[in-house]
Homo-oligomer: A and B are copies of this chain.
Amino acid sequence: MTDTYLELVNSGLTKKLAAQLGLPRPARLRRHRPGDPLLDGPALVLGHGPDADAVATLLSSPAGGPAHPHLDDAAPAVLDGWDLDVHRHPAPDVRYAAVVLVLTDLAHPDGLAGPVLAAASTLKRLRPGARVVTVHRPATDADAPAVAAARQGVDGLLRSLAKELRGGATGNGVVVAEGVPVTAPSVVATLRFFLSARSAFVDGQLLEVDSDAGELPADWERPLAGRVAVVTGAARGIGAAIADVLARDGATVVAVDVPAAGEQLAATANRVRGTALQLDVTAPDAGERILAHARARHGRIDVVVHNAGITRDKLLANMTPDRWEPVLAVNVDAPLRINEALLTSGDLVDSPRIVALASTSGIAGNRGQTSYAASKGGVIGMVRATAPLLVPFGGTANAVAPGFIETEMTARIPAVTRQVARRLNSLQQGGLPVDVAEAVAFLASPAAGGVVGRTLRVCGQNMVGR
Protein backbone atom coordinates (compact mmCIF):
# COMPACT_ATOMS: atom_id res chain seq x y z
CA MET A 1 0.00 0.00 0.00
CA THR A 2 3.03 2.30 0.09
CA ASP A 3 3.73 4.42 -2.96
CA THR A 4 7.50 3.89 -3.03
CA TYR A 5 7.86 6.00 -6.15
CA LEU A 6 6.28 8.99 -4.42
CA GLU A 7 8.73 8.62 -1.55
CA LEU A 8 11.71 8.37 -3.90
CA VAL A 9 10.91 11.45 -5.99
CA ASN A 10 10.59 13.47 -2.81
CA SER A 11 13.89 12.57 -1.19
CA GLY A 12 17.61 12.97 -1.70
CA LEU A 13 19.40 11.93 -4.84
CA THR A 14 16.38 10.35 -6.49
CA LYS A 15 14.54 13.66 -6.22
CA LYS A 16 17.18 15.33 -8.37
CA LEU A 17 17.28 12.40 -10.74
CA ALA A 18 13.52 12.43 -11.30
CA ALA A 19 13.66 16.15 -12.01
CA GLN A 20 16.47 15.71 -14.55
CA LEU A 21 14.67 12.86 -16.29
CA GLY A 22 11.41 14.81 -16.45
CA LEU A 23 9.55 12.03 -14.60
CA PRO A 24 6.24 12.73 -12.88
CA ARG A 25 6.91 14.19 -9.47
CA PRO A 26 3.87 13.70 -7.29
CA ALA A 27 4.01 15.93 -4.22
CA ARG A 28 3.45 14.86 -0.65
CA LEU A 29 -0.05 16.14 -0.01
CA ARG A 30 -0.94 18.44 2.85
CA ARG A 31 -3.28 16.47 5.13
CA HIS A 32 -5.33 17.53 8.13
CA ARG A 33 -3.85 17.34 11.61
CA PRO A 34 -6.04 18.62 14.44
CA GLY A 35 -4.78 21.99 15.64
CA ASP A 36 -3.09 22.96 12.35
CA PRO A 37 -4.08 26.36 10.96
CA LEU A 38 -6.57 26.36 8.08
CA LEU A 39 -3.91 27.78 5.73
CA ASP A 40 -0.18 28.29 6.10
CA GLY A 41 -0.09 31.67 4.35
CA PRO A 42 -2.14 34.54 2.99
CA ALA A 43 -5.29 34.15 0.94
CA LEU A 44 -6.24 36.22 -2.09
CA VAL A 45 -9.94 36.89 -2.65
CA LEU A 46 -10.69 38.02 -6.20
CA GLY A 47 -13.95 39.34 -7.61
CA HIS A 48 -16.13 42.37 -7.10
CA GLY A 49 -19.42 43.07 -5.41
CA PRO A 50 -21.02 42.15 -2.11
CA ASP A 51 -20.43 38.39 -2.41
CA ALA A 52 -16.69 38.83 -2.84
CA ASP A 53 -16.69 41.29 0.05
CA ALA A 54 -18.62 38.83 2.22
CA VAL A 55 -16.18 36.01 1.48
CA ALA A 56 -13.19 38.27 2.18
CA THR A 57 -14.79 39.35 5.45
CA LEU A 58 -15.45 35.77 6.48
CA LEU A 59 -11.89 34.73 5.78
CA SER A 60 -10.30 37.73 7.49
CA SER A 61 -12.50 38.39 10.52
CA PRO A 62 -10.93 37.43 13.81
CA ALA A 63 -12.50 34.48 15.56
CA GLY A 64 -15.17 35.82 17.90
CA GLY A 65 -14.73 39.28 16.40
CA PRO A 66 -17.43 41.83 15.73
CA ALA A 67 -20.00 41.36 13.01
CA HIS A 68 -19.10 42.87 9.68
CA PRO A 69 -21.71 44.88 7.77
CA HIS A 70 -21.62 42.48 4.81
CA LEU A 71 -22.49 39.61 7.08
CA ASP A 72 -25.44 41.16 8.90
CA ASP A 73 -27.85 38.57 7.60
CA ALA A 74 -25.61 35.58 8.19
CA ALA A 75 -25.99 32.99 10.89
CA PRO A 76 -24.02 33.81 14.08
CA ALA A 77 -21.48 31.07 13.48
CA VAL A 78 -20.51 32.64 10.16
CA LEU A 79 -19.48 35.73 12.06
CA ASP A 80 -16.90 33.63 13.82
CA GLY A 81 -14.28 34.40 11.21
CA TRP A 82 -11.18 32.48 10.26
CA ASP A 83 -8.61 35.16 10.96
CA LEU A 84 -6.67 34.70 7.72
CA ASP A 85 -4.37 37.25 6.15
CA VAL A 86 -6.60 38.24 3.24
CA HIS A 87 -5.57 40.25 0.18
CA ARG A 88 -8.02 41.70 -2.32
CA HIS A 89 -5.45 42.36 -5.06
CA PRO A 90 -2.49 40.17 -6.01
CA ALA A 91 0.65 41.57 -4.43
CA PRO A 92 3.89 40.89 -6.29
CA ASP A 93 6.21 38.43 -4.55
CA VAL A 94 3.58 37.20 -2.09
CA ARG A 95 3.28 33.41 -2.05
CA TYR A 96 -0.41 32.74 -1.57
CA ALA A 97 -1.74 29.67 0.20
CA ALA A 98 -5.14 30.16 -1.41
CA VAL A 99 -6.79 32.07 -4.22
CA VAL A 100 -10.57 32.37 -4.06
CA LEU A 101 -12.39 33.61 -7.15
CA VAL A 102 -15.86 34.86 -6.24
CA LEU A 103 -17.68 34.84 -9.57
CA THR A 104 -21.32 34.88 -8.50
CA ASP A 105 -21.91 38.14 -10.36
CA LEU A 106 -20.76 36.88 -13.78
CA ALA A 107 -23.12 38.12 -16.48
CA HIS A 108 -21.11 37.38 -19.63
CA PRO A 109 -18.00 35.35 -20.57
CA ASP A 110 -16.18 38.71 -20.92
CA GLY A 111 -16.39 39.01 -17.15
CA LEU A 112 -13.97 36.12 -16.68
CA ALA A 113 -10.83 37.85 -17.93
CA GLY A 114 -10.37 40.24 -14.99
CA PRO A 115 -10.40 37.80 -12.07
CA VAL A 116 -8.82 34.96 -14.09
CA LEU A 117 -5.83 37.01 -15.22
CA ALA A 118 -5.40 38.35 -11.69
CA ALA A 119 -5.34 34.77 -10.42
CA ALA A 120 -2.94 33.77 -13.20
CA SER A 121 -0.36 36.26 -11.96
CA THR A 122 -0.11 34.39 -8.62
CA LEU A 123 0.20 30.82 -9.88
CA LYS A 124 3.98 30.63 -10.22
CA ARG A 125 4.37 31.52 -6.56
CA LEU A 126 1.67 29.43 -4.90
CA ARG A 127 2.68 27.63 -1.72
CA PRO A 128 2.90 23.82 -1.72
CA GLY A 129 -0.56 22.41 -1.16
CA ALA A 130 -2.18 25.71 -2.13
CA ARG A 131 -5.85 25.97 -2.94
CA VAL A 132 -7.64 27.65 -5.83
CA VAL A 133 -11.38 27.78 -5.20
CA THR A 134 -14.08 29.27 -7.39
CA VAL A 135 -17.46 30.33 -6.04
CA HIS A 136 -20.10 30.77 -8.69
CA ARG A 137 -23.66 29.94 -9.67
CA PRO A 138 -24.85 26.99 -11.79
CA ALA A 139 -25.64 27.44 -15.47
CA THR A 140 -29.29 26.52 -15.90
CA ASP A 141 -31.75 26.59 -18.76
CA ALA A 142 -33.51 29.49 -17.03
CA ASP A 143 -30.50 31.81 -17.38
CA ALA A 144 -29.97 34.31 -20.16
CA PRO A 145 -27.64 32.60 -22.66
CA ALA A 146 -24.69 34.90 -21.89
CA VAL A 147 -25.09 34.28 -18.16
CA ALA A 148 -25.23 30.52 -18.64
CA ALA A 149 -22.21 30.68 -20.95
CA ALA A 150 -20.19 32.60 -18.38
CA ARG A 151 -21.16 30.25 -15.56
CA GLN A 152 -20.50 27.06 -17.49
CA GLY A 153 -17.25 28.62 -18.67
CA VAL A 154 -16.03 28.58 -15.08
CA ASP A 155 -16.44 24.83 -15.16
CA GLY A 156 -14.08 24.36 -18.13
CA LEU A 157 -11.66 26.92 -16.71
CA LEU A 158 -11.49 25.34 -13.26
CA ARG A 159 -11.00 21.81 -14.55
CA SER A 160 -8.19 22.97 -16.84
CA LEU A 161 -6.55 24.99 -14.11
CA ALA A 162 -6.65 22.02 -11.74
CA LYS A 163 -4.72 20.03 -14.35
CA GLU A 164 -2.03 22.72 -14.44
CA LEU A 165 -1.42 23.10 -10.70
CA ARG A 166 1.58 21.30 -9.19
CA GLY A 167 3.09 20.82 -5.75
CA GLY A 168 -0.03 19.27 -4.26
CA ALA A 169 -2.11 22.35 -5.02
CA THR A 170 -5.73 21.73 -6.02
CA GLY A 171 -8.53 23.58 -7.75
CA ASN A 172 -12.17 23.08 -6.81
CA GLY A 173 -15.39 25.04 -6.99
CA VAL A 174 -18.47 25.77 -4.92
CA VAL A 175 -21.54 26.08 -7.12
CA VAL A 176 -24.15 28.04 -5.21
CA ALA A 177 -27.76 27.66 -6.32
CA GLU A 178 -29.52 30.83 -7.37
CA GLY A 179 -31.06 32.50 -4.31
CA VAL A 180 -28.74 30.85 -1.80
CA PRO A 181 -26.47 33.48 -0.18
CA VAL A 182 -22.72 32.92 -0.18
CA THR A 183 -22.91 33.14 3.61
CA ALA A 184 -25.22 30.09 3.80
CA PRO A 185 -23.83 27.40 6.11
CA SER A 186 -23.08 24.87 3.39
CA VAL A 187 -21.36 27.44 1.18
CA VAL A 188 -19.16 28.46 4.08
CA ALA A 189 -18.51 24.84 5.06
CA THR A 190 -17.76 23.72 1.48
CA LEU A 191 -15.41 26.65 0.97
CA ARG A 192 -13.65 25.76 4.20
CA PHE A 193 -13.43 22.09 3.23
CA PHE A 194 -11.86 22.95 -0.13
CA LEU A 195 -9.40 25.39 1.49
CA SER A 196 -8.46 22.94 4.21
CA ALA A 197 -6.06 20.02 4.17
CA ARG A 198 -9.10 17.75 4.58
CA SER A 199 -9.69 17.94 0.82
CA ALA A 200 -6.13 16.82 -0.06
CA PHE A 201 -7.20 14.37 -2.81
CA VAL A 202 -10.25 16.30 -4.06
CA ASP A 203 -9.21 18.05 -7.26
CA GLY A 204 -10.93 19.56 -10.27
CA GLN A 205 -14.33 19.09 -8.66
CA LEU A 206 -17.39 21.30 -8.41
CA LEU A 207 -19.80 20.76 -5.54
CA GLU A 208 -23.30 22.18 -5.72
CA VAL A 209 -24.90 23.79 -2.69
CA ASP A 210 -28.62 23.51 -3.23
CA SER A 211 -30.11 25.30 -0.23
CA ASP A 212 -29.35 27.42 2.81
CA ALA A 213 -30.04 24.49 5.13
CA GLY A 214 -27.38 23.27 7.55
CA GLU A 215 -25.82 24.52 10.72
CA LEU A 216 -22.24 25.59 11.29
CA PRO A 217 -20.37 23.92 14.13
CA ALA A 218 -19.45 25.59 17.39
CA ASP A 219 -15.97 24.11 16.91
CA TRP A 220 -14.55 23.39 13.44
CA GLU A 221 -12.33 20.68 14.95
CA ARG A 222 -15.37 18.78 16.29
CA PRO A 223 -18.10 19.22 13.69
CA LEU A 224 -19.69 15.88 14.57
CA ALA A 225 -19.83 16.38 18.35
CA GLY A 226 -22.91 14.72 19.81
CA ARG A 227 -23.72 12.76 16.65
CA VAL A 228 -24.08 8.97 16.41
CA ALA A 229 -22.72 7.55 13.15
CA VAL A 230 -23.05 4.04 11.71
CA VAL A 231 -20.31 2.90 9.30
CA THR A 232 -20.70 -0.34 7.35
CA GLY A 233 -17.64 -2.27 6.22
CA ALA A 234 -15.71 -0.62 9.07
CA ALA A 235 -13.33 -3.47 9.88
CA ARG A 236 -10.59 -2.29 7.56
CA GLY A 237 -9.54 -0.16 4.59
CA ILE A 238 -11.62 2.87 3.74
CA GLY A 239 -14.35 1.90 6.21
CA ALA A 240 -11.91 1.82 9.13
CA ALA A 241 -10.53 5.20 8.05
CA ILE A 242 -14.05 6.62 7.97
CA ALA A 243 -14.68 5.35 11.50
CA ASP A 244 -11.42 6.98 12.63
CA VAL A 245 -12.17 10.35 11.06
CA LEU A 246 -15.77 10.50 12.21
CA ALA A 247 -14.61 9.74 15.75
CA ARG A 248 -11.82 12.32 15.50
CA ASP A 249 -14.47 14.85 14.47
CA GLY A 250 -16.50 14.08 17.58
CA ALA A 251 -18.96 11.39 16.50
CA THR A 252 -19.85 8.27 18.45
CA VAL A 253 -19.29 5.46 15.95
CA VAL A 254 -21.13 2.18 15.43
CA ALA A 255 -18.73 0.02 13.42
CA VAL A 256 -20.51 -2.60 11.31
CA ASP A 257 -18.99 -5.50 9.41
CA VAL A 258 -19.55 -9.17 8.63
CA PRO A 259 -18.97 -11.71 11.41
CA ALA A 260 -15.93 -13.10 9.54
CA ALA A 261 -14.19 -9.74 10.07
CA GLY A 262 -15.02 -9.80 13.79
CA GLU A 263 -11.50 -9.37 15.12
CA GLN A 264 -10.64 -6.39 12.93
CA LEU A 265 -14.08 -4.93 13.55
CA ALA A 266 -13.51 -5.07 17.31
CA ALA A 267 -10.15 -3.37 16.79
CA THR A 268 -11.81 -0.53 14.90
CA ALA A 269 -14.57 -0.14 17.48
CA ASN A 270 -12.07 -0.11 20.33
CA ARG A 271 -9.79 2.35 18.60
CA VAL A 272 -12.63 4.84 18.05
CA ARG A 273 -14.22 4.11 21.47
CA GLY A 274 -17.39 3.14 19.68
CA THR A 275 -19.40 -0.05 19.49
CA ALA A 276 -19.23 -2.98 17.08
CA LEU A 277 -22.13 -4.64 15.31
CA GLN A 278 -21.51 -7.89 13.44
CA LEU A 279 -23.91 -7.90 10.56
CA ASP A 280 -24.18 -8.90 6.92
CA VAL A 281 -25.65 -5.82 5.25
CA THR A 282 -27.54 -8.02 2.81
CA ALA A 283 -29.57 -9.60 5.63
CA PRO A 284 -33.27 -8.76 5.17
CA ASP A 285 -33.41 -7.23 8.66
CA ALA A 286 -30.09 -5.38 8.46
CA GLY A 287 -31.75 -1.97 8.79
CA GLU A 288 -33.81 -3.00 11.79
CA ARG A 289 -30.75 -4.49 13.50
CA ILE A 290 -28.73 -1.32 12.95
CA LEU A 291 -31.57 0.75 14.38
CA ALA A 292 -32.00 -1.56 17.36
CA HIS A 293 -28.27 -1.45 18.13
CA ALA A 294 -28.05 2.33 17.83
CA ARG A 295 -31.13 2.88 19.98
CA ALA A 296 -30.06 0.43 22.66
CA ARG A 297 -26.40 1.43 22.90
CA HIS A 298 -26.45 5.13 22.02
CA GLY A 299 -30.04 6.31 22.21
CA ARG A 300 -30.08 7.78 18.71
CA ILE A 301 -28.85 7.56 15.14
CA ASP A 302 -27.81 10.56 13.05
CA VAL A 303 -25.44 9.43 10.34
CA VAL A 304 -25.30 6.27 8.23
CA VAL A 305 -22.31 5.65 5.98
CA HIS A 306 -22.89 2.93 3.40
CA ASN A 307 -19.30 1.88 2.83
CA ALA A 308 -19.51 -1.93 2.63
CA GLY A 309 -18.79 -2.97 -0.93
CA ILE A 310 -17.35 -5.78 -3.00
CA THR A 311 -15.99 -6.37 -6.50
CA ARG A 312 -16.18 -9.49 -8.68
CA ASP A 313 -14.53 -8.07 -11.78
CA LYS A 314 -14.96 -9.85 -15.10
CA LEU A 315 -15.42 -8.74 -18.67
CA LEU A 316 -19.14 -8.69 -19.42
CA ALA A 317 -18.57 -11.24 -22.20
CA ASN A 318 -17.60 -13.71 -19.46
CA MET A 319 -20.13 -12.58 -16.87
CA THR A 320 -22.17 -15.09 -14.89
CA PRO A 321 -25.07 -14.57 -12.48
CA ASP A 322 -22.98 -15.71 -9.52
CA ARG A 323 -20.53 -12.89 -10.22
CA TRP A 324 -23.09 -10.21 -11.12
CA GLU A 325 -25.64 -10.67 -8.37
CA PRO A 326 -23.53 -10.43 -5.18
CA VAL A 327 -21.99 -7.15 -6.35
CA LEU A 328 -25.38 -5.56 -6.88
CA ALA A 329 -26.72 -7.13 -3.67
CA VAL A 330 -24.01 -5.75 -1.39
CA ASN A 331 -23.26 -2.44 -3.09
CA VAL A 332 -26.71 -1.09 -3.89
CA ASP A 333 -29.56 -3.41 -2.88
CA ALA A 334 -28.42 -3.48 0.75
CA PRO A 335 -28.14 0.31 1.11
CA LEU A 336 -31.57 0.67 -0.53
CA ARG A 337 -33.13 -1.78 1.93
CA ILE A 338 -31.38 -0.31 4.95
CA ASN A 339 -32.41 3.22 3.95
CA GLU A 340 -36.00 2.06 3.61
CA ALA A 341 -35.92 0.73 7.17
CA LEU A 342 -34.31 3.92 8.46
CA LEU A 343 -36.74 6.20 6.63
CA THR A 344 -39.80 4.39 7.93
CA SER A 345 -38.47 4.06 11.48
CA GLY A 346 -39.18 7.59 12.62
CA ASP A 347 -35.67 7.74 14.11
CA LEU A 348 -34.10 9.91 11.39
CA VAL A 349 -35.55 13.26 12.37
CA ASP A 350 -32.70 15.47 13.62
CA SER A 351 -30.79 16.58 10.51
CA PRO A 352 -29.88 13.02 9.54
CA ARG A 353 -27.10 12.33 7.05
CA ILE A 354 -26.80 9.38 4.69
CA VAL A 355 -23.46 9.14 2.91
CA ALA A 356 -22.91 6.31 0.44
CA LEU A 357 -19.70 5.22 -1.23
CA ALA A 358 -19.92 5.39 -5.01
CA SER A 359 -16.88 5.18 -7.30
CA THR A 360 -15.47 6.96 -10.32
CA SER A 361 -16.26 3.64 -12.07
CA GLY A 362 -19.94 4.38 -11.44
CA ILE A 363 -19.52 7.71 -13.22
CA ALA A 364 -17.13 6.91 -16.05
CA GLY A 365 -17.35 3.15 -16.27
CA ASN A 366 -14.33 0.88 -16.11
CA ARG A 367 -13.24 -2.03 -18.26
CA GLY A 368 -13.97 -5.29 -16.45
CA GLN A 369 -16.26 -3.61 -13.94
CA THR A 370 -19.73 -3.59 -15.49
CA SER A 371 -21.31 -5.01 -12.33
CA TYR A 372 -19.38 -2.76 -9.97
CA ALA A 373 -20.06 0.29 -12.14
CA ALA A 374 -23.76 -0.55 -12.39
CA SER A 375 -23.92 -0.87 -8.60
CA LYS A 376 -21.98 2.34 -7.99
CA GLY A 377 -23.92 4.24 -10.63
CA GLY A 378 -26.90 2.87 -8.73
CA VAL A 379 -25.61 4.45 -5.52
CA ILE A 380 -25.40 7.82 -7.27
CA GLY A 381 -29.02 7.50 -8.40
CA MET A 382 -30.05 6.27 -4.96
CA VAL A 383 -28.74 9.30 -3.07
CA ARG A 384 -30.22 11.68 -5.64
CA ALA A 385 -33.69 10.23 -5.07
CA THR A 386 -33.30 9.59 -1.32
CA ALA A 387 -32.20 13.10 -0.41
CA PRO A 388 -35.57 14.77 -1.04
CA LEU A 389 -37.20 12.32 1.37
CA LEU A 390 -34.88 13.54 4.14
CA VAL A 391 -35.13 17.28 3.48
CA PRO A 392 -38.26 17.69 5.67
CA PHE A 393 -36.10 16.56 8.61
CA GLY A 394 -33.17 18.80 7.74
CA GLY A 395 -31.53 15.68 6.34
CA THR A 396 -29.47 14.87 3.28
CA ALA A 397 -28.19 11.90 1.32
CA ASN A 398 -25.01 12.26 -0.72
CA ALA A 399 -22.30 10.08 -2.16
CA VAL A 400 -18.52 10.12 -2.27
CA ALA A 401 -16.89 8.65 -5.38
CA PRO A 402 -13.30 7.55 -4.75
CA GLY A 403 -10.86 7.18 -7.60
CA PHE A 404 -7.61 5.23 -7.20
CA ILE A 405 -7.10 4.82 -3.44
CA GLU A 406 -4.16 2.95 -1.89
CA THR A 407 -5.83 0.01 -0.14
CA GLU A 408 -5.40 -3.73 0.19
CA MET A 409 -7.73 -4.00 -2.80
CA THR A 410 -5.61 -1.84 -5.11
CA ALA A 411 -2.42 -3.38 -3.73
CA ARG A 412 -3.49 -6.59 -5.46
CA ILE A 413 -3.45 -4.91 -8.88
CA PRO A 414 -0.36 -6.01 -10.91
CA ALA A 415 2.58 -3.68 -10.25
CA VAL A 416 2.90 -1.97 -13.63
CA THR A 417 -0.84 -1.44 -14.02
CA ARG A 418 -0.93 -0.06 -10.49
CA GLN A 419 1.92 2.36 -11.21
CA VAL A 420 0.13 3.68 -14.26
CA ALA A 421 -3.30 3.84 -12.61
CA ARG A 422 -1.87 5.81 -9.72
CA ARG A 423 -0.38 8.49 -11.96
CA LEU A 424 -3.43 8.97 -14.18
CA ASN A 425 -4.73 11.95 -12.24
CA SER A 426 -3.74 15.54 -11.74
CA LEU A 427 -2.01 14.81 -8.42
CA GLN A 428 -0.07 11.92 -10.03
CA GLN A 429 -0.63 9.60 -7.08
CA GLY A 430 -3.22 7.40 -5.45
CA GLY A 431 -5.28 8.81 -2.61
CA LEU A 432 -5.28 7.44 0.91
CA PRO A 433 -8.29 6.00 2.73
CA VAL A 434 -8.24 9.04 5.00
CA ASP A 435 -8.88 11.28 1.99
CA VAL A 436 -12.14 9.49 1.30
CA ALA A 437 -12.97 9.56 4.99
CA GLU A 438 -12.52 13.34 5.17
CA ALA A 439 -15.04 13.84 2.37
CA VAL A 440 -17.48 11.48 4.07
CA ALA A 441 -17.07 13.36 7.35
CA PHE A 442 -17.68 16.66 5.61
CA LEU A 443 -20.92 15.44 4.00
CA ALA A 444 -21.94 13.85 7.31
CA SER A 445 -21.59 17.13 9.18
CA PRO A 446 -24.53 19.35 10.16
CA ALA A 447 -22.93 22.16 8.15
CA ALA A 448 -23.39 20.26 4.86
CA GLY A 449 -27.18 20.32 5.10
CA GLY A 450 -27.49 22.36 1.91
CA VAL A 451 -25.77 19.71 -0.23
CA VAL A 452 -28.65 17.54 -1.35
CA GLY A 453 -28.27 14.33 -3.33
CA ARG A 454 -24.85 15.08 -4.81
CA THR A 455 -21.81 12.96 -5.54
CA LEU A 456 -18.39 14.31 -4.61
CA ARG A 457 -15.39 12.75 -6.34
CA VAL A 458 -12.25 12.08 -4.31
CA CYS A 459 -9.98 11.09 -7.14
CA GLY A 460 -7.24 13.67 -7.68
CA GLN A 461 -9.10 14.55 -10.89
CA ASN A 462 -8.81 11.03 -12.22
CA MET A 463 -8.48 10.74 -16.02
CA VAL A 464 -11.18 8.12 -16.27
CA GLY A 465 -13.19 9.61 -19.08
CA ARG A 466 -16.90 9.57 -19.10
Of all chain B residues, the one with the shortest Cβ separation from A425 is B465
Number of chain A residues whose Cβ lies closer than 8 Å to a Cβ of chain B: 91
- Of A2-10, A27-35, A328-336, the stretch lying at the interface with chain B is A328-336
Cα separation A137 to B328 with both chains bound (whole Å): 20
Closest CB-CB distance, A138 to chain B, in whole Å? 9
- Of A176-184, A215-223, A385-393, the stretch lying at the interface with chain B is A385-393
Q: Which residues of B contact A378 (CB under 8 A)?
A: 109, 149-150, 152-153, 156
Residues facing B in A159-203 (CB within 8 A) are 159-164
Among A139, A375, A381, max chain B CB count under 10 A is at A381
A227 an interface residue at 8 Å Cβ cutoff? no
Among A120, A124, A162, A372, max chain B CB count under 10 A is at A120
Q: Which residues of B contact A161 (CB under 8 A)?
A: 316, 365, 370
A17 an interface residue at 8 Å Cβ cutoff? no
Q: Are A377 and B316 interface neighbours, CB within 8 A?
A: no
A142 an interface residue at 8 Å Cβ cutoff? yes
Q: Are A141 and B453 interface neighbours, CB within 8 A?
A: yes
Q: Which residues of B contact A336 (CB under 8 A)?
A: 108-109, 145-146, 149
Known contacts A153-B377, A367-B160: A385-B317 contact under CB 8 Å: no
Q: Are B160 and A204 interface neighbours, CB within 8 A?
A: no
Closest CB-CB distance, A44 to chain B, in whole Å? 15
Q: Are B370 and A116 interface neighbours, CB within 8 A?
A: yes
- What are the nearest 4 A-B pairs in CB distance? A152-B381, A159-B365, A156-B377, A156-B373
Known: A109-B374, A116-B370, A123-B315. 20 other contacts (CB 8 A): A109-B332, A109-B336, A109-B378, A110-B328, A113-B321, A113-B325, A142-B385, A145-B340, A151-B381, A152-B362, A152-B382, A156-B361, A157-B374, A159-B363, A160-B368, A160-B374, A164-B315, A164-B316, A461-B465, A464-B465
